[in-house]
Structures are given as C-alpha cells and as structure tokens.
C-alpha cells in the first residue's frame, strides 16, 4: 500500500475533467483518450494525468464477452433496455456505465523500475480510501464473487462491491482506470449484466467461465454510506485528494500533438470494435 501512496504523490497532476459532457460523449472516445494520454505521459510530453469521465447508458464489454455462444441474443437484451455497447481495449468483462457512475483514470509514467500491476491497483485503492476517509467505513480490496467483472481488486464495503479497477499500458505509460458506482441501485445494474449473460450463454458449455451474477452483492456508494452522494460531490473529493498529494494541479485539454495521437487511436478502436462485433 505504501508504494501505491507513492504513486499518488506526483509533483504535478494535470486534470482532464470529462465528467459532465453528457449523453453524446461516447465510451469509445474515452478509451482512445486514455491511450492518447498513456502515449503523452509515457513519452514525457505530459506530466501525470488524472481524468474523470461519465458515459450515459453504456455497457462496456470485455473481449471474452464477444465470444459468448449467443452473443446476439445477449446484445439484444441490452438494446431493449436502452443501452449502447462497446468492447474495451483493457482487461475485464462487462460493466454498466450510466450518469450515476464516475470513472477515474490515473495515467502515470513507467519509470526505470516500472509500475507493477498490483502497485497501480494499490494507488487507486489508496485514492478511494482517502476520498471517503471521513466515513466510518472500511473499504476492502478483494474479489467479490457474484459481482460483474470480478477481480482481485474489487472495492467493497461490508462485502458489497461498488467499484472495479482495470489497467492499460502503452508506450511507457500506464492508465489505471476505476468505475465508482456513486448513486442509484447497484443491484439493478447487476441485473442488467445478469440478463445479458443469461441470454448470451444460455445453457451452453463454454471454455471460459463467465460470472454467475448475484445482484445482491453489488451496491452504490450512496447505498453503502447511507448518504445521498452525486457525481459532482465525488468529483470534488477526487480533486481534493489530488491537491493533498501533489505540489500542483492544473486543468487542461489535449494539445495539438495529443489531438493527432487521439485521432489515430480513435480510428483504431472504432475499427477494432467493428471487427470484434462483426456478424452480430
């Protein structure tokens, strides 16, 4: 955990806040954005970046999800519920994004010794603990069986998951990404993924073991902390923690060099999604 704390303590944090861009800001743009920032930070063009982002009514699928035997049926259930879907370029399985889910990315340079995977996860776990340090709740990092996109760094309170973490590495840059279910019903979100797998897998035998979703093991921070939190509330907590851990923070947008990288990554991820979902 101490090494994770060290990663939070950057001399400069560059802030890119995309948490209020609205329903027309698409998840594919976000993943191209993090690839761009990995390149920028990894090459020394930019200091460490903290990015916040929100997407409306979107299911982000993992690569393994595209191999479901009845994928078209699973995707149809998502469409019927009013959700768009994309395939992410980092690890993991299907997750729900909506206006009550705040996503955060810490984009860090790979220094000489590198950042091992657990150290990156520890940094985000530490970040979240500091963001909610004023609540008498213990935030644990361990796999919550029955959650969607389960992993060893699921963040939970009293056995109920409210966040999941993934990583993306490009050109000496590391993006550690977390989704935080801020408000709304965690179990209702889980039911959407539960139905996706029920329709997408049915009773077929598969080489890959897809999660058996138990909606009751997921909740939002508002539910778990017994207080009405909003995305702007949590965004303020995020910025305050970065201020406490850095000598300076400043807000910015992509510059012209980064825009060129972004266009390239965005084109690539669109083509990759079309290939992954071809024939569905």
Ramachandran bin of 119, using left for φ above 0, alpha for ψ from -120 to 50, beta for the remaining angles: alpha
| Backbone CA torsion sign across 151, 117, 51, 7 | positive
| Of 149, 218, 221, 224, catalytic | 149
Tell me, rounded to whole angstroms, the distance of Cα 103 from its chain centroid: 5
Q: How far is CA 75 from CA 78, 92, 123, in A?
A: 5, 17, 34
Distance CA 184, CA 219 (A): 8
- Of 154, 134, 130, 280, whose CA–CA distance to 217 is shortest? 154
- Residue identified by tokens 């071809």 is 278
- Number of CB atoms found within 10 A of residue 239's CB: 18
Could you tell me the two tokens for 98?
Answer: 């909506």
Active site residue 149: yes
Instruction: Please identify every residue annotated as catalytic.
Output: 149
């Amino acid at each position: 955990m101490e090494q994770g704390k060290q990663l939070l303590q950057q001399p400069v944090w560059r802030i890119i806040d995309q948490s209020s861009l609205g329903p027309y800001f698409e998840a594919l743009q976000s993943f191209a954005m993090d690839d761009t920032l990995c390149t920028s930070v990894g090459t020394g063009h930019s200091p460490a970046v903290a990015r916040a982002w929100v997407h409306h009514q979107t299911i982000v699928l993992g690569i393994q999800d595209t191999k479901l035997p009845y994928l078209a049926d699973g995707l149809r259930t998502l469409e019927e519920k009013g959700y768009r879907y994309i395939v992410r370029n980092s690890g993991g399985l299907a997750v729900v994004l909506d206006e009550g889910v705040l996503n955060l990315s810490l984009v860090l340079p790979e220094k000489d010794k590198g950042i091992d995977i657990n150290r990156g996860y520890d940094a985000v776990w530490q970040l979240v603990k500091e963001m909610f340090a004023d609540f008498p709740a213990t935030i644990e990092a361990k796999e919550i069986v029955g959650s969607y996109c389960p992993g060893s760094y699921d963040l939970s309170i009293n056995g109920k998951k409210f966040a999941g973490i993934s990583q993306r590495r490009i050109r000496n840059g590391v993006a550690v990404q977390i989704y935080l279910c801020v408000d709304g019903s965690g179990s209702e979100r889980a039911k959407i993924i539960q139905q996706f797998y029920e329709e997408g897998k049915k009773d077929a035998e598969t080489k890959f073991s897809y999660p058996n979703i138990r909606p009751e093991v997921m909740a939002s921070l508002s539910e778990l902390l017994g207080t009405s939190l909003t995305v702007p509330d949590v965004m303020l907590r995020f910025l305050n923690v970065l201020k406490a851990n850095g000598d300076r923070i400043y807000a910015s947008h992509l510059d012209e060099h980064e825009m060129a990288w972004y266009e390239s990554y965005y084109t690539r991820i669109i083509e990759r999604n079309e290939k992954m979902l071809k024939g569905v």
